[in-house]
Amino acid sequence: MAVSNIPGDGRSGIAPEAIPPPPKPEPIEPVKEVATPPPEPAKLASGNTARLRVDPGTERIIAEIVNEENEVVKQVPPEELLELAETSRAIQGLLFDRSS
């Protein structure tokens, strides 16, 4: 006959009441501040400015280089890639029902 070594299973010789309960987790305090204010845009040697933003459709961080007229010179990731990611997310939502 095999002897079990699992505590409290009735076959190991240890009574279940002899095993102490696991410690209770400490309560988590709610977050008071979501984030610090964004830093000032960085000035580049070319006179352009670097800034970060969050794309509302994909919730991805976007890095932009803008000129003195506040026109976007370069963006990473490109707008086309963001549109593709948003479309992909919409198709995924149609294919997979997240409520089940």
So where are the chain's domains?
38-95
Q: Which residues, in sequence order, are CB contacts of 57 under 8 Å at separation 6+?
A: 82, 85, 86
Residue (of 16, 76, 21, 71) closest to 47 by Cα position: 71
pTM, 2 dp: 0.49
pLDDT, tens only, 8-51:
555 556 666 777 888 888 888 877 766 666 667 777 778 888 99
